[in-house]
Chain A
Amino acid sequence: MNFDFSDDQKQLRDQARKFLAEKCSPKAVRVVLDGKAPYDKELWKGLAEMGFLGVAIPEEFGGAGAGHLELCVIAEEMGRANAPVPFSSTVYLAAEALLIAGSDAQKKKWLPAIASGEAIGTLALFEGKGNPSPKNVKLTAANGALNGVKKPVADGAIADFAVVAARTGSSGRDSDISLFLVDLKAAGTEVKSLTNLDPTRGQAEITFKDCKAEPLGGAGEGWSILTEVLDRAAVLCAFEQVGGADRALEMGRDYALDRIAFGRQIGSFQAIKHMLADMYVSATLARSNSYYGAWALSTNAAELPEAAAAARISATQAFQHCAKNNIQVHGGMGFTWEFDCHMYYRRANAMALGLGSLTYWEDQLIDRMRKKNAA
């Protein structure tokens, strides 16, 4: 059994960690947090130069042609550094949708631009409250033109193109939904930035008015493509969450060692030790579930739907748990803007919703486990 990343992949992780420690310090993250820039452009350029944006994109489309395991180790480091860049929208959602369903021409147009950092992409799925479901897609597509409103769209205000879920039928079946590619720089879209929980990752509302769009994948195949995109993204996001959870745990541990109260290190009190031990437990469970998700993703295994849901749930719970208790360990200082704790708290809770809520994924997991048991 070799249920671990290879030495090369671990080396890539070290390389990414070193790069991000240098280029993505908490101080750099704060420039975006404080609203002085919509995202860290320098970092984005650097990630492209390192080959991280195209790590899972085949060489023929301008990527490094490595694979999803390599992308997982980079994702973990992006989460650990709380990187203020549109990585998940562009790389996990837009690029994966293109890889799954794009025509050769579409891949040739967008994938090299993603790998080189020239194009930012996103997925426009949600329309207000609600989880991923064909029922919640109201935006229409007819005669190659889209009409409707999407929100929230992650990184929508800085994206160059979007994969848009649209209604092309009214039978009440999944086949009512089709996907479209939209160049957001062209006419027919109106983009409005929205304030949100985690200012280091923007959210937007995009209004489509007779907007020209080209189909991505076959008509009526939208929902099945989306399901696969979301499963892949669930695994990749889980690695970001695992990275964030580990960092929050480390911050709490370090503070418990430094801070003196009642004449001793607060880390010597069992109330604090046990809180940190429980954080370690949830981070470890999340890591192990995410490894299984990585295996399923990288081998395109039939187990991916179940593995992705398990990784998603476990990593969401762990990041929320660690980020929340990291503030608690810090006490009053943890509730200041100046300390970094709230950046992870914001990111953890924003990520918990981005691909659909925890409840949604719990529901998915049970469906998928039943399907497997029935088979």
Chain B
Amino acid sequence: MNFDDTPQEAAFRETARKWIAANAPREFEQELSKSSLGRIRLAKHDMVEVGKTWQKKKFEDNWACLHWPRDYGGRGATPIERVIWQQEEGVYGKLTQPFQIGEGMCGPTVMAWGSEDAKRRYLPKLASGEEIWCQLFSEPSAGSDVAGLRTRAEKQGDNWIVNGQKIWTSGAHYSDYGLLIARTDPNVPKHKGLTMFFLEMKSPGVEVRPIKQANGMQEFNEVYFTDVVIPDSQRLGAVGEGWSVSLTTLMNERMSIGARLATGVPEMFEFCSNLMLEDGLAIDDPAVRSKLASWAVKSSGLKYTSYRAISALSKGERPGPENSIGKLVSGMMLQDIATYAMDLQGAAGVLTGSDEETVQGQFQQMLLSSPSMRIAGGTDEILRNIIAERVLGLPGDIRVDKDVPYNKIPTKGR
């Protein structure tokens, strides 16, 4: 048992480290190092533009999408090399946020289901950051049950005409392409009537509207489709095979291995170490210590769970299912920590302004943002189902809509 690199890993790390030292945009280092939840913002620069410059630089020296084949803009790197790169890229990795959906989900789907021409045309430009992709799956009435989606695509000659609405689309407003799943046959059971496409986001009839979220911010969009024309050549997989195609996308969801999930623990530890209560420092209070310790061991447990996965990759093995617990644990913890930090502030905890007493309102922001962590990318409940079914081998849910044609499934509860 040790935490050391193999000689090859150490050599790769050294190469990566040298390149990053010579090329990273240091002027943003400090701003990026500040802990933050959700979208990254830069005070004086456009995050997407800065991100594109960094991505382009990486691409030119083969450091972009490094686990992809060289022919499609990658480096042909091994999974462990990808983890090492992420570790070394450190805070600059935050600049890749606009490209993560493309690299993690859309790209792999095009790679698995696209024609050779499509792969050579789209993947290198996705890798270089020149073209940004978004993913158009969720709908207002199809969230966890995404196969229940309603957006229609109807065949007209060599084209498809799309009408409907998507929601929770990150980056739709700056994306060039979108991966779209739509219903092409409502007369068959829901999973069988879907087809996958990709389209230009600038196509006529596509309208992107930002969503004002519960925390007051705008990070996601709604996308409306009105008679949008998509050529049949932009179909991925066979007609009616969209569900299988979407599984490729979802299976490739950005591996959380090596990427540290925010837990709120370091912020909470620091806060309690400095906060004066009536009887002294908060961290000397037994009740505070007990809670803090329980959160600390969850946080360290997640860290060492990811180390176990990295070790498996290092040996060329597939990591076990342990990593599936990450978001489930960290999402709930953020919410609990925020609530307790505010409780310690007493009546002043209600204030969201940027005064010193409430540490610049960071826990208030955490409280308001944390519900999304428990929903986005699989709700806590869906994640528990996944663990129960795929890890523990328990039976799937009994599905009352399984063999029912889509257009016969009830759409209202009452």
- Report A's interface with B, CB cutoff 8 A: 1-6, 69, 249, 253, 256-257, 264-265, 267-268, 270, 272-274, 276-278, 280-281, 284-286, 288-289, 291-292, 294-295, 298-299, 309-310, 313-314, 317, 359, 361-363, 365-366, 369-370, 373
The answer to whether B304 and A265 have CB atoms under 8 Å apart is no
Q: Which residues of B contact A253 (CB under 8 A)?
A: 392-394
B residues 291-320 with Cβ under 8 Å of A?
292-294, 296-298, 300-305, 307-308, 310-312, 314-315
User: CA A284 – CA B393 in complex, angstroms?
Assistant: 16
Q: Which residues of B contact A277 (CB under 8 A)?
A: 383-385, 387-388, 391-392
Chain A: CB-nearest residue to B303: A288
The answer to whether B290 and A362 have CB atoms under 8 Å apart is yes
Q: Quick one: which of B5, B273, B283, B325 contacts A1, CB cutoff 8 A?
A: B5
Known A-B contacts A285-B302, A286-B301; the reply to A4 vs B394 at CB < 8 A is no
Choose among A273, A277, A298, A309 the residue with the greatest number of B CB atoms under 10 Å from its CB: A277
User: CA A257 – CA B394 in complex, angstroms?
Assistant: 7
Chain B: CB-nearest residue to A295: B1
Q: Quick one: which of B5, B292, B384 contacts A274, CB cutoff 8 A?
A: B384
The answer to whether A314 and B394 have CB atoms under 8 Å apart is no
The answer to whether B395 and A291 have CB atoms under 8 Å apart is no
Is the CB of B389 closer than 8 A to any CB of chain A?
yes
Known A-B contacts A281-B325, A284-B325; the reply to A363 vs B301 at CB < 8 A is no
Q: Which residues of A contact B312 (CB under 8 A)?
A: 4
User: CA A365 – CA B388 in complex, angstroms?
Assistant: 32
The answer to whether A292 and B304 have CB atoms under 8 Å apart is yes
User: CA A366 – CA B259 in complex, angstroms?
Assistant: 26
The answer to whether B297 and A284 have CB atoms under 8 Å apart is no
Which range holds the interface residue count of chain B? 35 or more
User: CA A313 – CA B290 in complex, angstroms?
Assistant: 10
Chain B: CB-nearest residue to A292: B304
B residues 386-409 with Cβ under 8 Å of A?
387-389, 391-398
The answer to whether B304 and A289 have CB atoms under 8 Å apart is yes
The answer to whether B391 and A291 have CB atoms under 8 Å apart is no
The answer to whether A274 and B283 have CB atoms under 8 Å apart is no
Is the CB of B60 closer than 8 A to any CB of chain A?
no
Chain A: CB-nearest residue to B84: A1
The answer to whether B328 and A281 have CB atoms under 8 Å apart is yes
Whole-angstrom distance between the Cβ of B226 and the nearest chain A Cβ:
38
The answer to whether B381 and A270 have CB atoms under 8 Å apart is yes
Q: Which residues of A contact B4 (CB under 8 A)?
A: 1-2
Q: Which residues of B contact A6 (CB under 8 A)?
A: 1
Known A-B contacts A69-B1, A253-B394, A268-B395; the reply to A273 vs B297 at CB < 8 A is no
Q: Quick one: which of B301, B307, B398 contacts A285, CB cutoff 8 A?
A: B301
Is the CB of B286 closer than 8 A to any CB of chain A?
yes
Choose among A2, A265, A363, A365 the residue with the greatest number of B CB atoms under 10 Å from its CB: A2
Main secondary structure of the interface of A (DSSP, over half): helix
User: CA A361 – CA B297 in complex, angstroms?
Assistant: 11
Is the CB of B212 closer than 8 A to any CB of chain A?
no
Q: Quick one: which of B3, B273, B325, B384 contacts A3, CB cutoff 8 A?
A: B3
The answer to whether B387 and A280 have CB atoms under 8 Å apart is yes
Is the CB of B289 closer than 8 A to any CB of chain A?
yes
Q: Which residues of B contact A1 (CB under 8 A)?
A: 2-5, 9, 307, 310-311, 314
The answer to whether B298 and A285 have CB atoms under 8 Å apart is yes
User: CA A85 – CA B23 in complex, angstroms?
Assistant: 61
User: CA A273 – CA B391 in complex, angstroms?
Assistant: 11
Q: Quick one: which of B304, B314, B381, B394 contacts A267, CB cutoff 8 A?
A: B394
The answer to whether B304 and A278 have CB atoms under 8 Å apart is no
Chain B: CB-nearest residue to A290: B304
Is the CB of B199 closer than 8 A to any CB of chain A?
no
Choose among A3, A249, A370 the residue with the greatest number of B CB atoms under 10 Å from its CB: A3
The answer to whether A280 and B3 have CB atoms under 8 Å apart is no
Whole-angstrom distance between the Cβ of B406 and the nearest chain A Cβ:
24
Q: Which residues of A contact B1 (CB under 8 A)?
A: 2-6, 69, 291, 294-295, 298-299
